[in-house]
Amino acid sequence: MASSVANTTSSKRRRLLLLLAAAVALTILAPPPVSALRRRAVHLTVYVQEILDGPGQTEKLLIKGPGPANPSLWPPHNYLGDTIVMDDLVTEAVANNSKPIGRVYGIYMTASMTRPVYTVSFTLHLTAGPYNGSTLVVAGRDSVLDETRELGVVGGTGKLRRASGHVLWRTAKLESSVHWVLELQVHASVPADRHSHKVAIIQ
């Protein structure tokens, strides 16, 4: 009887040791979590030239929303659901004639019946500097009366592939009632190149 109990105890110990060994092996072989992967910071400051009407217009009403009219916004983009498509020049400084470094392609929609709020989705395509040919995809809520608005970086391509982070967006200058200049400060990161750990900055 004692021999039987000893054998059973020994068998349980062996099974326990095998389970522990398997758990250790899985832990060693499992890839590290995404949060543990090395990432490289990306800081960009760019200026978007919005021309709403007249010569050089870069934004057009794509869909006229069903309403109702939003009393906090001004025509012609003041109806709930109004959707505007944009193809805006991106420059390295506030002035419209400063060096062009890309375009913003996207849409924004009147998203509130009572407040001056839009939902925004756009792709920033860079055509100069260390990220020439790369893009950042940005989306979020734009409350136009706030001095600074925050939108999310939800992806990218090229050297900005798998980007994540946020954009601080503010109105930098009103050239006229139909020409607004927006400052975009990008605070993001991308998976680090194993051969380089430099931080590239455009300011």
The residue among 106, 115, 117, 91 whose CA lies nearest residue 179 is: 91
Residue 198 confidence (pLDDT): 45
Residue 74 confidence (pLDDT): 85
> Same domain, yes or no, for 50 and 99?
yes
> Same domain, yes or no, for 153 and 125?
yes
| Cβ atoms 197, 137 nearer than 8 A | no
Distance CA 12, CA 17 (A): 9
Cβ neighbourhood burial of 186 (10 Å; 0-12, 13-18, 19+): buried
Residue 77, helix vs strand vs coil? coil
> Same domain, yes or no, for 24 and 49?
no
> Same domain, yes or no, for 5 and 65?
no
Residue 65 confidence (pLDDT): 96
> Same domain, yes or no, for 176 and 160?
yes
> Same domain, yes or no, for 99 and 6?
no
Write out the residue range of the structural domain in which residue 147 sits: 38-202
> Same domain, yes or no, for 5 and 85?
no
Beta strands in the chain (DSSP E): 39-51, 59-63, 83-91, 100-110, 117-126, 135-143, 149-157, 164-176, 179-191, 200-202
pTM over 0.85: no
Write out the two tokens for 94: 């506030």
Tens of pLDDT along the chain (203 residues) come to 555 545 556 666 777 666 666 555 555 555 555 555 799 999 999 999 999 999 999 999 999 999 999 999 988 889 999 999 999 999 999 999 999 999 999 999 999 999 999 999 999 999 999 999 999 999 999 999 999 999 999 999 999 999 999 999 999 999 998 999 999 999 999 999 754 444 444 44
> What are phi and psi for residue 47, nearest 5 degrees?
-125, 130
CATH code, domain with 129: 2.40.480.10
Q: Which residue has the tokens 């260390």?
A: 130
> Same domain, yes or no, for 18 and 78?
no
Residue 31 confidence (pLDDT): 56
Q: Which residue has the tokens 């982070």?
A: 165
| Cβ atoms 94, 62 nearer than 8 A | no
> Same domain, yes or no, for 59 and 143?
yes
Residue 101 confidence (pLDDT): 98
Please count the structural domains in the chain: 2
